[in-house]
Structure 1
Amino acid sequence: MLPQLLATLLVIVLTWGIAFLAKSIISRVGRKLHLRSNLIEVLSMLSSVGIWLSGILVAVTILFPSITPAKALTTLGLGSVAIGFAFKDTFENFLAGILILVREPFELGDFVECESIEGQVEEITIRDTRIRQTDGQLVVVPNHLLFQNPVTVRTSRDLRRITIACGVAYGEDVDEARDVIKEAVRKVDTVRNDVREVEIFAKAFGASSIDFEVTWWTGSKPLDVRQSRDQVVAAIKSALDSAGIEIPFPYRTMTFAEPLPVQHVDRE
């Protein structure tokens, strides 16, 4: 058995060296290609696992000649099936994590929304993705959830369109009100009218007002959106007040089938 043991030991040492060399090559090439560090680690791990499985298979056949490679592969295949059923969810998240890292639908720092979960991507691992919500809470999302469901990447671009509604009284001039609102929005610092023009459209006959749809572009981060919306609303209110254009309260008109008697009560 001594020659077989020495040969087995040699195969294990060679396997370790080849696995180490493969990880070094993948790490070097990945950095040159500017791949994500998590993706480099995944590729290194997969290559290492494949090399070690092959090396152990060769070592077993050398140490136990009665075990042929075909028998070893059959046993390994049956064991893999059993392990696959036992750890179905884990492997599903693992494969989804690899595909997310390879396809890169979103990056670290992006603000995303999926299945009522919304926040900033802090970390992408093989098993899960960690999303920090705007209220500070951390949500650990299984990768298969992000892979199988639609994901809205709110910061895929630097700009984002915002729309609000604004109403003026029926007695006001629609064209004048439109011009006043448009000029007020264009003067707001956070409105990117240098890239996309501000759009104001009369939208509908409301219950108490002519409703305008006010649309502009600003930064794509949630804080940018909230700040810009706040400034635009304040600017429109100030501009309409200065122009003497009424923003009406809700009106109610009541009708009666029969005339109502009116009685004056003298309170003395």
Structure 2
Amino acid sequence: MNAIDILARQLWGMWAGLVALVPNLVIALVIIVLTWVAARFARGVVDRVTSRAAIRESLKQLIHTIVTIGIWIVGLIVAATIVLPGLTPASLVAGLGVGTIAIGFAFQDFFQNFLAGILIMVRKKMRIGDVIECEGIIGKVEHISLRETHVRKLSNELTIVPNATLFKNPVEILTDAAQRRHEIIVGVSYDTDLEEARTVIREAMTGIEIIDQDRRIDIFAREFNSSSIDFLVRWWAGSKPYDMHESRDRVVRAIKAALDRAGIEIPFPYVTNTFKTAVPFQSEDSGAPPSP
């Protein structure tokens, strides 16, 4: 028997095995198609159920993803056992267990972000639409996926933040409540009657409708500054960034106008020029060389 006969027998055996495997391949293909149909049907059912439930959008996406992945895993396992009859679900799970260790080391960051995404979606805080601050990033949460979160900055740039970053670092949710407290510093001159200044500032704050007048407005004499005595002024207004800027603008303009009407000075900061040196006077007949 020469090499050509051996090669021909092997090719014939491979062809015969492939022909014998065709029914299994057809059945596996049908199962994959049925899995695709079942996944679409399950997504529709999940969408209808979650649309009636009062749950967050991120949690709806998590349920949707888990149901879809679960159906596809079951369908692919069944199709694999049909194509390879010697492969049982138990051996497949055991093989996946060994392979998962190597995959886990290779894709450690991926799985870390994946698990962090699940935990972020499950917890109640940080919903889509919230304005957050984390690691110097301030913006509005637009989308939360299993791996990353899309944050739209206030200047309209889109920042894609890994979920592990949001999970491991402190996150300030600026819009967690409808209102938050804002504050500014107001300085008055040293010859000012502080009680009169406090009264003028409080009356100016009372006339601003954007401020929540039902909550306390704080006006505290804070410190002796270099050229002024500083008041800390605090009030409650909307928690969104635009509300913060608008209320601060109204407060600053109202206080400035009220202090001007009352004749109370807002002094400039006193700055000492340490670079100036005195130059002694030299008469023309002194004979001394002129100073440099």
TM-score by length of 1: 0.82
Q: CA deviation at 1:10?
A: 6.9
2:265 alignment partner in structure 1: 246
Q: CA deviation at 1:229?
A: 1.3
Higher mean Cα deviation, 68-77 or 14-23? Answer: 14-23
- Which of 209, 228, 237 is matched with 1:189 structurally? 209
Larger radius of gyration: 2
Matched, 1:115 2:135: yes
1:43 alignment partner in structure 2: 63
Matched, 1:133 2:153: yes
Q: Distance in 1 between matches of 2:81 and 2:270?
A: 89
Matched, 1:220 2:239: yes
Q: Distance in 2 between matches of 1:95 and 1:160?
A: 32
Q: Distance in 2 between matches of 1:137 and 1:7?
A: 49
2:224 alignment partner in structure 1: 205
Provide the aligned C-alpha RMSD in A: 3.0
Distance 1:188 1:22, change over 3 A: same
Listed as ranges, the matches of 1:51-90 within 5 Å are 51-90=71-110
- Which of 144, 152, 155 is matched with 2:175 structurally? 155
Give the letter aligned to residue 154 of structure 1.
L
- Which of 223, 227, 249 is matched with 1:230 structurally? 249
Give the letter aligned to residue 147 of structure 2.
R
Q: Distance in 1 between matches of 2:225 and 2:166?
A: 40
Q: CA deviation at 1:14?
A: 5.9
| Corresponding residue SS for 1:123 | strand
Deviations 1:158-181 (A, max 9, x none): 112111111222222111111111
Higher mean Cα deviation, 176-185 or 103-112? Answer: 103-112
Q: CA deviation at 1:47?
A: 2.4
Q: Distance in 2 between matches of 1:252 and 1:27?
A: 65
Number of residue pairs matched by the alignment: 255
Give the letter aligned to residue 167 of structure 1.
G
| Corresponding residue SS for 1:201 | strand
Q: Distance in 2 between matches of 1:136 and 1:4?
A: 54
Identity of aligned residues (%): 49
Distance 1:73 1:244, change over 3 A: same
Higher mean Cα deviation, 97-106 or 47-56? Answer: 47-56
Q: Distance in 2 between matches of 1:246 and 1:45?
A: 63
Q: Distance in 2 between matches of 1:214 and 1:37?
A: 38
Consecutive unaligned residues in structure 1, runs of 5 or more: 254-260, 263-268
TM-score by length of 2: 0.76
Distance 1:14 1:229, change over 3 A: closer
Q: Distance in 1 between matches of 2:158 and 2:125?
A: 20
